[in-house]
Chain A
Amino acid sequence: MSGVTGERVAEVWARLVREARDAGYSVNPDDQFARELVQGLLENEARYGYPACPCRLASGDRGSDLDIICPCDYRDVDLNDYGSCYCALYVSPEIARGAKKAGAIPDRRPVGGPAAQSRDMEALDIKGLPFPVWRCRVCGYLCARPQPPLICPICKAGKERFERFS
């Protein structure tokens, strides 16, 4: 059905597991389930040009789907409220060690995606701070520097996922 090979899935899955562990996140302990999600992510990447959430219908327009590029903007609040993200690739430590089971959860993404909002990172003009503060929309990482980092050092989300915080 797709050109995504098992080797590629294994390689990406190994990286995601490592990155999750290094950043304090946990992944689904059901290896088969998780690998199929990774395969879905890679299929979406091949299909749309970005790894959209495998459990949501991507529009094909990267700009409108930034919030559902994995890890999605909703992962951390869903982990907090339900113990897993929407597709259940990421789960709570309890679920990861098998003390609880992951289940389907409601989608908190607004229908049709977030309202068209200004993502212009230069829009705010804050006086009094030597550097602007940037916030990662995925994990909340903050940094004060002229520009956000190319990749969030915590959750590996891309630069375009940062918003100006102050």
Chain B
Amino acid sequence: MLEPNHVNGTLTKHRILMYTLSTCGWCRRTKALLQELGVAYDYVDVDLQTGGNRELAKEELLKWNPASSFPTIIIDGDECIIGFQEDRLRELASA
């Protein structure tokens, strides 16, 4: 069972789940920008998952992003942003 980490924010309009790596610079930037914008989000650091959760996280990620690259940001379980895209993240906060 995957247990995403939750980061609080004042903007909770969208449900945001990200698949990230704890070591990745672009993932770190994505998390920092959302925090700066006050957007609440959940994230799973796939590299820190152990046992069956690592495979489970990879499978979940693959459903959204065939390239399985990081970060993969899923919005409202519907739309997906791949990679650190500052403009789209800012739009997300304003929309």
Contact = CB atoms under 8 A, between A and B. Distances in A.
A and B associate: yes
Interface stretch (B6-14, B17-25, B33-41): B17-25
A1 B67 CA distance: 28
Contacts of A103: 84
Interface in B41-80: 46-47, 58, 66-70
Interface residues of B, number: 20
Q: Is the interface of A mostly helix, strand, loop or mixed?
A: loop
25 contacts: A1-B22, A33-B25, A36-B25, A37-B23, A37-B25, A40-B23, A47-B47, A54-B24, A55-B23, A55-B25, A56-B21, A56-B70, A57-B21, A57-B58, A58-B47, A87-B25, A87-B26, A88-B25, A104-B26, A104-B83, A106-B67, A106-B69, A107-B69, A111-B66, A111-B67
Interface of A: 1, 33, 36-37, 39-41, 43-44, 47, 54-58, 87-88, 103-104, 106-107, 111
